[in-house]
Structure 1
């Protein structure tokens, strides 16, 4: 009897947590189909104003231009961040050097510095270099993060040294070992790091707001911010913009969900 009670309690808690987690998404979808007054009134049924909200959104904001900006910025950051951070993590673990650990400690210490404290000096430096309103200016602060380097180094410990030695004997170069041996065996780690990097870059608002001052270079989070900055907010249109913004991250996460779990838990195939 006690076993059944425990099982019931476990499933009950899972159902409650699932409802709490899913409800904001459900409300966002429902709100995007209703008028602003219905959203404010707490209406929780599907409305008929989805097309009207879309027409209003497209007429007032360059949503698809901002969507394209977010896509190209995020894909560029994700690809280059994975390559640079994985090379750094692999190098810290595989190549032995007395000073390596001190450098690695300095890299980890930078995790304690809030990004807000770096924005002003970064903005001044990038403005002098002519990197304002550029993809490179958006990318640079995210290309080698301590979190990704630590993740790749931790998982590189599971990479068999015998494979490296055998590859060297066969005449494979160090970069050949990395790209042809290390990367294929760390697919789950790359998937997990890719999901984290993609989501962080896609949802990046603060740095994008600082570095991207031109309206033609703005991203989706900046567009959503613009929708709430007027005297009157159209919540139906706002929720539709939020829904469109959420779709890419949801697709990436659910596509790589299995590999994401494996990569976070340190599983290597």
Structure 2
């Protein structure tokens, strides 16, 4: 019975692993084939990788577009982590009836889809003359409501005794936050940073609405434009672009995966 259970378990894990890994393999293999070969369902590696690379880099300024995405994502991560963690720390450690009401509204606003806010956001950014500017993508993403919720849940485990001791030593609230709380919750910030980066890096709707010229494009807009650039989609070039767009998030996760796992489990470094 135990052998049968183990066999079923490993069979399920193997099938699940195959389903998870196959799209990545197909993406990499597709980058080495022509569009016709991909359309025909070819799953083996070909010899068209450098041709697809030349087509992509010849038609678009990839370094500039990558820099646009990295700049937007990097600034968004830094500002959102600071603002949302400060807000969450205030909600958790300086609780009042009013703050609880505001926090309840924040949780309620989380269910509002972004698509319903496109028109007011566009009017707001147009009024600020930020249309076709990267700042129009960054500003709405800074106040990430999920991160406020995430940070507050982690701050619940932070000992109030440490805060009280720091106050006795004469530290201000901001000194307590940046010199005591932040160093002890690096894992939480690592998890939040990965989430914020991926959320910003993969953002499509806001760049589609606000960015109007190619020199302002992000990688998501580039990949989208490749599918509509001609009557016949060049799948090989699209695969190359997708691989390039995947590299930054892959590198970030590889370097911060330990902190991500600890942060998601509410780890606190004492």
SS at match of 1:256: helix
- Matches of 1:183 and 1:162 in 2, distance apart? 16
Matched, 1:47 2:65: no
Distance of 2:63 and 2:37 partners within structure 1:
26
CA contact (8 A) 2:134 2:211 kept: no
Aligned to 1:243: 243
Matching residue of 1:264: 264
Q: Measure, in 1, the Cα distance between the counterparts of 2:161 and 2:131.
A: 47
Structure 2 match to 1:85: 84
Q: Deviations over 1:4-46 (max 9, x none)?
A: 2111211111111011000000000010011111111222222
Distance 1:143 1:56 in 2: 35
Unpaired stretches in structure 2, ≥5 consecutive residues: none
Alignment of 1:62-101 (within 5 A): 62-101=61-100
Shift of the alpha carbon at 1:267?
Answer: 2.0
Residue 176 (1) aligns with residue 200 (2): no
Report the CA distance between 1:215 and its aligned residue.
Answer: 1.6
Using the TM superposition, give the Cα deviation of residue 98 of structure 1 relative to its aligned residue in structure 2, in angstroms.
2.1
Deviation track 1:188-244 (CA, whole Å, cap 9, x = no partner) reads 111111111101100101111111112211100100111111211111111001110
Q: Bigger CA drift: 251-260 or 226-235?
A: 251-260
| C-alpha displacement of 1:265 | 1.9
How big is the alpha-carbon RMSD for the aligned residues of Structure 1 and Structure 2? Answer: 1.0
- The correspondence of residues 14-163 of structure 1 with structure 2, limited to 5 A, is 14-163=13-162
* Separation (CA, whole Å) in 2 of partners of 1:87 and 1:215: 36
1:172: Cα distance to partner?
1.3
Give how far 1:250 is off. Answer: 1.2
Paired residue secondary structure (1:99):
helix
Aligned partners of 2:166 and 2:176 also within 8 Å: yes
* Deviation for aligned residue 1:254: 2.1
CA contact (8 A) 2:29 2:46 kept: yes
Alignment of 1:217 onto 2:212: no
Q: Distance in 2 between matches of 1:190 and 1:7?
A: 38
Secondary structure in 2 matching 1:16: helix
Q: Which residue is equivalent to 1:199?
A: 198
TM-score (norm 2): 0.97
Q: Deviations over 1:160-181 (max 9, x none)?
A: 1111011111111111110111
